[in-house]
Structure 1
């Protein structure tokens, strides 16, 4: 073999060197981006309704406890649907401390019963009086998600004690019964009497098949009441039992678009820089956006979930 033949012969591949890979086509990149977005959404949704939601609920309760404790100490805690300045109470404002020793339950009650409010605390329904006042006071709470503060209401029995501390003092209730759909209604209240009704989902966790109610009669002295700003007919629909927040659609669409853009950017980075760089950048970004989108989507689900 002469020198010219050697020059034309193809060189053998070096040992240990992998052959070059062809870049992924547009279809493969789009598929990768779609799978990344789907994974981020599923992870965020499960974490949001599960462990991260529980942590969020615990943190929000700590903040609410501190705020309510300060208001009680300064005699500025709400005693009606308006603040001392005459303004309507904001959704999520702390209005009382609910304690059920039988269940080991100690939760701050917030104003309003939207899905967003109930992620942080049991909520006082705004078409009823505050706890401790004459009339029926309704408090709604989640059965399983975001800490599931009302998960064990079905374990209460007649005679169990419930206390609620508000700006008007500490109020004591005695449980009269637990009822589900089809059970008889409690008797009509006498003039000046008070009742607390706790409401949550009934059935399997995350798959409620109806409502569970716990009725408790006020056994301490009833305090003066201001008329609620809403009636059963004027209460916003997203504050009723098993309702979702229709207003969450707009923010869901906007955050969803941002998640789509992040997924497309991840596919571009992977094509230009490689898989490792794409995952280092993309995992925290997609994870955070997936959690936010899942949080907005959870607001569309029943508020007692």
Structure 2
């Protein structure tokens, strides 16, 4: 008895060849049109986060460290008698920006801060700054000290609480200078008359406004009640970056360099991701990326108003 073979129609169509695994993996790999925007948004979010962290947590740490270092340096200079008493140091050279020049103490608000030379945004990250075109505290004329309201230790956040009669003490290379608060001024308030010959005044300046939203300048006036100290003639020019609520345009160069560094790190991370794999790459790349982002965002904060 003959066995009939099934027809092709009964057997159905022949099975399709299986797709190679390599092709499937290529289809599952994300498109570059999605990867590149995602990476860019991730870097942007990291920069914004680093910006906030610099103004708050890391900024306060940097401020505290600068205060400790500045106090130690100024204490050594006071012991040697080489602390600045004017625009020039003991060698006849201009006092460098960021050099400690005084210690400000206001008991009424619990403030004790080292004052540094200069009022740029970068200097005021370390603490209050002495405006270079005014005499040092204790000398005749009007001395101006500027400080931040919120960022980097927020040293002048509570000076608006001062009242007439509150004492202020400033220690300089000429000893301890004593002041007495006469009033607090907001934008638009009339300024007091200029101090007379042989009289001294101290003006503390910071920003007004809500959290990290400055919109004006607050001033605290104080009259010198201790003996007036001799001092060199004040004056000279200051840069636009040392004016109240000014940013520091000198930050653009380091920002550009750190941005280039961030792009190089991003390229290196992409290359290692293809060579090593996901987890090996992130274990090595995250610390480097974090360091570059913190450095870049830290320089970017110098563009903000110096009294913020």
TM-score past 0.5 threshold: yes
Rounded Cα–Cα distance in structure 1 between residues aligned with 2:122 and 2:70: 15
Match of 2:278 among 275, 281, 286: 275
Match of 2:83 among 77, 80, 84: 77
Match of 2:101 among 76, 90, 95: 95
RMSD, matched Cα: 1.8
Deviation at 1:280, TM superposition (A): 1.1
**Matches for 1:101-140 after TM superposition, within 5 Å:** 101-140=107-146
Deviation at 1:123, TM superposition (A): 0.3
Rounded Cα–Cα distance in structure 2 between residues aligned with 1:162 and 1:229: 24
Rounded Cα–Cα distance in structure 1 between residues aligned with 2:156 and 2:192: 20
Matched, 1:192 2:198: yes
User: Could you tell me which residue of structure 1 aligns to residue 92 of structure 2?
Assistant: 86
Rounded Cα–Cα distance in structure 2 between residues aligned with 1:52 and 1:263: 24
Rounded Cα–Cα distance in structure 1 between residues aligned with 2:266 and 2:80: 50
CA contact (8 A) 2:127 2:153 kept: no
Rounded Cα–Cα distance in structure 2 between residues aligned with 1:219 and 1:292: 44
Rounded Cα–Cα distance in structure 1 between residues aligned with 2:117 and 2:301: 20
User: Could you tell me which residue of structure 1 aligns to residue 177 of structure 2?
Assistant: 171
Q: Which residues of structure 2 form unaligned runs of 5+?
A: 1-14, 19-23
**Matches for 1:132-281 after TM superposition, within 5 Å:** 132-230=138-236, 234-281=237-284
Deviation at 1:268, TM superposition (A): 2.8
Q: Secondary structure at the match of 2:261?
A: helix
Deviation at 1:20, TM superposition (A): 5.5
Rounded Cα–Cα distance in structure 2 between residues aligned with 1:78 and 1:110: 11
Rounded Cα–Cα distance in structure 1 between residues aligned with 2:80 and 2:144: 26
CA deviations over 1:76-134 (Å, ceiling 9, x no partner): 11111101110000000110000001111000000000000000010000110000000
Q: Which residues of structure 1 form unaligned runs of 5+?
A: 1-7, 12-18
Deviation at 1:32, TM superposition (A): 3.7
Deviation at 1:229, TM superposition (A): 5.0
| Deviates most, 29-38 or 93-102 | 29-38
Rounded Cα–Cα distance in structure 2 between residues aligned with 1:9 and 1:91: 77
Rounded Cα–Cα distance in structure 2 between residues aligned with 1:271 and 1:23: 12
CA contact (8 A) 2:145 2:205 kept: yes
